[in-house]
Chain A
Amino acid sequence: MFSLYIHIPFCVRKCLYCDFLSDAYSTELRAAYAEALNAEIKREAGFYRNRRVDTIFFGGGTPTLLTEEQLEELMETVWKNFDVAEDAEISMEMNPGTADWKKLVRMRQLGINRLSIGLQAAEDELLQKLGRIHTWKQFEEAYGMARAVGFRNINVDIMSALPGQKLADYEHTLQAVLSFEPEHISAYSLILEEGTPFYEQRESLALPEEEEERQMYDLTEKLLRAEGYHRYEISNYAKDGYECRHNLAYWRRTDYAGFGLGASSFISGVRFQNTRSMEQYLMGKRSKEQVEPLSREDAMEEFMFLGMRCMAGVSAEDFRQQFGTEMESVYGKVLTELEKQGLTAREGDRFFLTKRGIDVSNYVFAQFLL
């Protein structure tokens, strides 16, 4: 299993809650970036000569802000330099209003077979509050076009715990999204990240109370399950067979190579990160920096807290195979304690989060740090 992540750090306008590495851009910068990105992929692909690529993910920012020509060149670079499996999952993020019919057709032709549409909420008032660039109507149009041009695997991102959002609003969003029957839904709750405008305004945001936030969380699970979606990860729901394979790669700690500004890679037990400075990146020197080799302990910690994000949990057998030691001998005490607190459960050789465990998963994960 091998994955590629390709980062496009551009957006029309930064949303007020967003702390991803992305910003508004000029056409010159966009062109220079596309060129540097192609160059990086060509330069580095040699390292991964013998790896067959199973998933590719274009994230951002808003990757669909690249022009058709830029997208085409980028995909060509990927195809030419990598051995991409025939059934590879190739996802691209998009925002409503950033791709027209023509561009969507082109994307299909270039081999992109999964779309991830950032909606966040169905109420225009909320969208505006978040600093989103689109309306609900624009989402409807984008979604309709995507289906029409033949996308058979679509994800919709939604958010709960938004400023001023009521439980009823959130239910409305869920219902509205469900009426489109996407294959996959990612449901996040808003997190105020330092350095964002929302963080600065945090005192005056009128965020829902913790209890209401939790009810939104519960509601997601309940409504989506009734509609045939199963929760396979803390924030991700899919119809059978439509789990995002790329995301699972992160949780299962299989190798992935990241390209583009600030992109992360994980290769043979070492984590890398590309430079976060656009200036540096465009100069095209060595892009992988911040190399972080993981110790055995680091790897065990990750195995646990990433694996536990998936509802299937972690397997003691996998642990033994990867580390040559028993999970019980490293985490026996922690797991027993968590089980006693009703936060995790076990079935056969698997350990996984309970419903209460999901609610306080951060607390649970912190227990796995050695």
Chain B
Amino acid sequence: MDQSKIRNFCIVAHIDHGKSTLADRIIEKTGLLTDREMQDQVLDNMELERERGITIKAQTVRVIYKAKDGEEYVFNLIDTPGHVDFNYEVSRSLAACDGAILVVDAAQGIEAQTLANVYLALDHDLDVFPVINKIDLPSAQPDFVKNEIEDVIGIEAQDAPLISAKNGIGIEEVLEQIVAKIPAPTGDPEAPLQALIFDSVYDPYKGVIIFCRIKEGRVRKGTRIRMMATGAEEEVVEVGYFGAGQFIPCDELSAGMVGYMTASIKNVKDTTVGDTVTDADRPCAEPLPGYKKVQSMVYCGLYPADGAKYPDLRDALEKLQLNDASLNYEPETSIALGFGFRCGFLGLLHLEIIQERLEREYNLDLVTTAPGVIYKVHKTNGEVIELTNPSNLPDPSEIDYMEEPVVSAEIMVTTEFIGSIMELCQERRGRYLGMDYIEGTRALLKYELPLNEIIYDFFDALKSRSRGYASFDYDMKGYERSELVKLDILINKEEVDALSFIVHKDSAYERGRKMCEKLKEEIPRHLFEIPIQAAVGGKVIARETVKAMRKDVLAKCYGGDITRKKKLLEKQKEGKKRMRQVGNVEIPQKAFMSVLKLDDK
């Protein structure tokens, strides 16, 4: 394969600016195979793949484009996750590219995430060219956006293609600019193998499928490979590249190419994103730079709604982990919720995705406890504990001090909302670092925020206080000493461990009060009165009461329709099933989660 005819690139954009639509158009306007490959009847192979029903992750795809210069080019379009939780994955995907298309909405202009992604791309020495999308919108102002791109990001934008991905306008121009502006890969096919893992999936037939970019050297069936970070070694069974929706095997992958390899690897953990694959018999001298072990940022307890489903939950987590090395979990028990797992996630979105997959793909009903971050507890005896479960907080007398993780956040907002967003950041214990005005109407606010203040509902609050206009991006900064306390919730005088969480002492009262109010709404009335209390260090700081039930009668007789009557009772019983018994109080499972959303503005 002629390296000069390869273009490895990705598309970066803010959510909703049209990234996937543009990707679809690119795939549509190009072909899947070169003329030569057509003649080699690779089609048969594809058929086979199709029968086996293997699909690859969306959007990482190889397409063939016949350019106006008459030459055929191979485009490898590499997907990047679009969310701040997956910044590390984004950075590894970018490292697999040589260039990037920046999609900017002609009406909305640049957003915080756009900036973050572009900087990430520029950091990786990618050549970035902009594309202005949605020019068919009445509110489109392409010239204004072009200037904004040049002023704010500092990349040339005057000849940016003006397109509408939705309506297929201007796509040819994008394809030509990919050829012209994105550099061909370099790398010596004869050098020792050096390949970057940017993703991996688990396939029940083939084992782990490694998505990689070959930086140096070549790899083919039979090559004995070694993952440099994990040390795992296996023999390659198959190499190939990505068709739209299929894996297409080929003879070899060489420097500059993007593709996959399989090697009967059974555990995704052996093939961590960012690791370097080399030839075990002829290893390269150095791994590629930038590898880091992914760290969970957010922890929460996951419990099966039906205690008997605990083994099912364990199996499901095991299976999910095969495909998602950044998920980790360990068993824990809660007095209120029984047996479950403490799980670590990259962020709240990651948590939500996993939760949804468990519920949808594995048919599990889950109870989730309040998400928390990892606190560092410095004990008086010099020991440092990394605390992921509030229940494990040592006795206050044993604690010297505690630290919490802090992030640097950038919030892009139109000027009219600066006030309310600053207020929000202030409420969340933000430390103001500065503000840059962009184009007169918008500002980029810079704050340092404790991570535990943004994992709950910060994003929702941000959106609602800016009518959806604010955008937000953050980076881990490190740990800082903080005055933290454990807030306990007592229901009918009994402490409910699954509702405890760590909070800054200044927010404890406010949070405790809101928790009590929320729980009062969620807990159904019982035959007796139920006090709900929030306490810090054994001292009650807030209280609400669920009044006793006085009357609950089903008076009517539906003309002998007993089935209907029974259905009503069953509904009540069904509701009961979704309850957790704590002492003699039944708490609906959703109460454990509803307390996460306490921002009421």
Q: What is A's interface to B at a CB cutoff of 8 Å? A: 5, 7, 20, 57, 59, 187-189, 191, 210-211, 213-214, 217, 234-235, 247, 250, 256, 258, 263-266, 271, 273, 290, 292, 298, 301-302, 305-306, 341, 343, 358-363, 365-366, 369
List 21 contacting pairs A-B, 8 Å CB cutoff, sorted by A: A5-B559, A20-B558, A20-B559, A187-B555, A188-B555, A191-B554, A210-B550, A210-B551, A211-B550, A234-B555, A235-B553, A247-B557, A258-B559, A264-B562, A301-B566, A302-B566, A360-B527, A362-B552, A362-B569, A365-B569, A369-B569
Do A302 and B562 form a contact, CB below 8 Å, given A363-B527, A366-B569? yes
Given contacts A191-B554, A235-B555, A264-B561, contact A360 B569 (CB under 8 A): no
Report if B41 contacts A (CB, 8 A).
Answer: no
Pick the residue among B551, B560, B570, B573 that contacts A266 (CB under 8 A). Answer: B560
CA distance A369 to B566 in the complex (A): 9
Are A234 and B553 within 8 A (Cβ)? yes
Q: Does B556 contact A (CB under 8 A)?
A: yes
Measured CB to CB, the closest approach of chain B to A356, in angstroms, equals: 9
On whether the beta carbons of A59 and B569 are closer than 8 Å, the reply is no
CB within 8 Å of A: which of B514-564?
527, 549-563
**How far does the Cβ of A351 sit from chain B's closest Cβ, in whole Å?**
18
Inter-chain contact A359/B560, CB cutoff 8 Å: no
**Chain B nearest Cβ from A344, distance in angstroms:** 13
Please, how many angstroms separate the alpha-carbon atoms of A235 and B573 in the complex? 23
Q: Which residues in A have their C-beta under 8 angstroms from that of B570?
A: 369
Given known A305-B569, A365-B569, A366-B572, contact A358–B560 (CB-CB < 8 A): no
Residues of B within 8 A of A235 (CB): 553, 555-557
Q: Is the CB of B557 within 8 A of A360?
A: no
Cβ of B293 < 8 Å from any Cβ of A? no
Task: Mark B residues whose CB is within 8 Å of A.
Answer: 527, 549-563, 565-566, 568-570, 572-573, 576
Which residues in B have their C-beta under 8 angstroms from that of A306?
Answer: 562
Query: What is the CA–CA distance of A234 and B551 in the complex, to the nearest angstrom?
Result: 13
Specify which chain B residues have a CB less than 8 angstroms from the CB of A7 in the assembled complex.
Answer: 559
A366 touches B576 (CB 8 A): yes
A5 to B558, CA, bound (A): 12
Residue of B with least CB distance to A260: B559
> Which of A250, A271, A343 is B557 in contact with, Cβ under 8 Å?
A250
* A214 x B550 contact (CB < 8 A): yes
Q: How far is the CA of A263 from the CA of B576 in the complex (A)?
A: 30
Counting chain A CB atoms within 10 Å of each CB, which of B549, B563, B570, B576 scores highest? B563
The answer to whether B562 and A266 have CB atoms under 8 Å apart is yes
| Given known contacts A302-B566, A341-B527, A369-B569, A250 and B552 CB-to-CB distance under 8 angstroms | no
- Bound Cα distance A361, B572 (Å): 12
What residues on A are CB-neighbors of B552 within 8 Å? 359-363
Nearest-neighbour CB distance to chain B for A236, whole angstroms, equals 9
Taking the nearest CB of chain B, how far is it from the CB of A299, in angstroms? 11
B581 to chain A, nearest CB (A): 13
Decide if A359 touches B555 in the complex (CB within 8 Å): no
- Shortest beta-carbon distance, B577 to chain A, in Å? 10
Rounded to whole Å, the gap between the CB of A9 and the closest CB of chain B is 11
**Chain A contacts of B557 at CB under 8 A?**
235, 247, 250
User: Shortest Cβ distance from A179 into chain B, in angstroms?
Assistant: 24
A5 touches B550 (CB 8 A): no
Tell me, in angstroms, the Cα distance from A264 to B562 when the chains sit together. 8
Contacts of B553 in A (CB 8 A): 189, 217, 234-235, 358-362
Q: Across chains A and B, which 5 residue pairs bring their CB atoms closest together, nearest first?
A: A188-B555, A362-B552, A366-B572, A235-B555, A369-B573
Shortest Cβ distance from B570 into A: residue? A369
Contact assessment for A359 and B551 in the assembled complex, using a CB-CB cutoff below 8 Å = yes
Contact status B559-A363, CB under 8 Å: no
Chain B residues within an 8 Å CB radius of A188: 555-556
In the assembled complex, the Cα of A331 lies from the Cα of B566 at a distance in Å of 18
Report how far A290 CA is from B563 CA in the complex, Å. Answer: 10
Complexed CA–CA distance, A35 and B278 (Å): 86
A7–B554 CA distance with the chains assembled, in angstroms:
22
Docked CA distance A214–B549 (Å): 11
Chain A contacts of B555 at CB under 8 A? 187-189, 191, 234-235
Nearest CB on A from B529, distance (A): 14
Nearest B residue (CB) for A93 = B559
User: Besides A214-B551, A362-B553, A369-B570, 18 other CB < 8 A contacts?
Assistant: A188-B556, A211-B550, A234-B553, A250-B562, A258-B559, A263-B560, A265-B560, A273-B561, A273-B563, A292-B563, A306-B562, A358-B553, A359-B552, A361-B554, A362-B552, A362-B554, A363-B552, A363-B572
- Kindly state the separation between the CA atoms of A214 and B550 in the bound complex, as whole angstroms: 7
Given the complex of chains A and B, what is the CA–CA distance between A361 and B555 in angstroms?
9
Q: Contacts A191-B556, A273-B561 given; indicate if A360 touches B551 (C-beta within 8 A).
A: yes
On chain A, the residues within 8 Å of B561 by CB distance are 264, 273
State in angstroms the CA–CA spacing of A358 and B553 once bound together. 7
Residues of A within 8 A of B563 (CB): 264, 271, 273, 290, 292
CB distance from B492 to the nearest CB of A (A): 15
When chains A and B are docked, how far (Å) is the Cα of A57 from the Cα of B558? 13
A244 — nearest CB in chain B belongs to which residue?
B557
Does B560 contact A360, Cβ atoms closer than 8 Å? no
CA distance A273 to B562 in the complex (A): 10
Query: How many Å from the CB of A266 to the closest CB on chain B?
Result: 7
Given contacts A214-B551, A359-B550, contact A5 B573 (CB under 8 A): no
* List of B residues within 8 angstroms of A234 by Cβ: 553, 555
**Which of chain B's residues have a CB closer than 8 A to the CB of A341?**
527
Contact B560 A217 (CB under 8 A): no
**Which A residue's beta carbon lies closest to that of B526?**
A363
**A191 surroundings in chain B (CB, below 8 A):** 554-556
Nearest neighbor of B560 in chain A, beta-carbon distance: A264
Q: Which residues of B contact A250 (CB under 8 A)?
A: 557, 560, 562
Distance between Cα atoms of A188 and B561 in the complex (Å) = 17
Closest CB in chain A relative to B100 CB, distance in Å: 53
Partner pick for A366 among B549, B550, B573, CB 8 A cutoff: B573
CA distance A18 to B551 in the complex (A): 21
- The answer to whether A263 touches B550, judged by C-beta atoms less than 8 angstroms apart, is no
Q: In whole angstroms, what is the CA distance A57 to B559 when docked?
A: 9
Instruction: List residues of chain A with CB within 8 A of the CB of B569.
Output: 305, 362, 365-366, 369
Give the interface centre of B550, B570, B576 by most chain A CB atoms within 10 Å. Answer: B550
Q: Could you say which residues of chain A place their CB within 8 Å of the CB of B566?
A: 298, 301-302, 305
Contact across chains for B549 and A5 when beta carbons are under 8 A apart: no
B562 touches which of A187, A271, A290 (Cβ 8 Å): A271
Complex CA gap A217/B552 in Å reads: 11
Closest to A257 in B: B560
> Considering only CB atoms, which chain B residue lies closest to A211 in the complex?
B550
Q: Contacts of A362 on B, CB cut-off 8 Å?
A: 552-554, 568-569, 572
| Set of chain A residues within 8 Å of B556, measured between Cβ atoms | 188, 191, 235
Question: CA of A52 to CA of B520 in the docked complex: distance in angstroms?
Answer: 55
The winner among A213, A358, A365 for most chain B CB atoms within 10 A is A365
Bound: A14/B527 CA distance, A: 36
Q: How far is the CA of A5 from the CA of B557 in the complex (A)?
A: 13
Which chain B residues lie closer than 8 Å to A290 at the CB level? 563
Kindly list chain A residues whose C-beta atoms are within 8 Å of the C-beta of B568: 362
Whether A59 contacts B559 in the complex (CB less than 8 A), given A366-B576, A369-B569, comes out as yes
- Alpha-carbon distance between A360 and B528 when the two chains are bound, in angstroms: 12
In the bound complex, CA of A341 to CA of B584 (Å):
12
CB distance from A55 to the nearest CB of B (A): 11
Contact A213 B554 (CB under 8 A): no
Report the Cα distance A305→B564, complex, angstroms. Answer: 13
Shortest Cβ gap from A314 to chain B (Å): 15
Which residues of chain B are within 8 angstroms of A214 by Cβ–Cβ distance?
Answer: 550-551
Bound-state Cα–Cα, A306 to B564, Å: 13
Of B554, B560, B565, B572, the residue contacting A5 (CB under 8 A) is: B560
Expressed in whole angstroms, the minimum distance between the Cβ of B528 and any Cβ of chain A is: 9
Establish whether residues B551 and A213, one from each chain, have CB atoms under 8 Å apart when the complex forms.
yes
Alpha-carbon distance between A302 and B563 when the two chains are bound, in angstroms? 10
Which residues of chain A have C-beta atoms less than 8 A from B573's C-beta? Answer: 366, 369
Q: Which residue of B lies closest to A188 (CB)?
A: B555
Q: State in angstroms the CA–CA spacing of A4 and B573 once bound together.
A: 31
CB distance from B519 to the nearest CB of A (A): 21
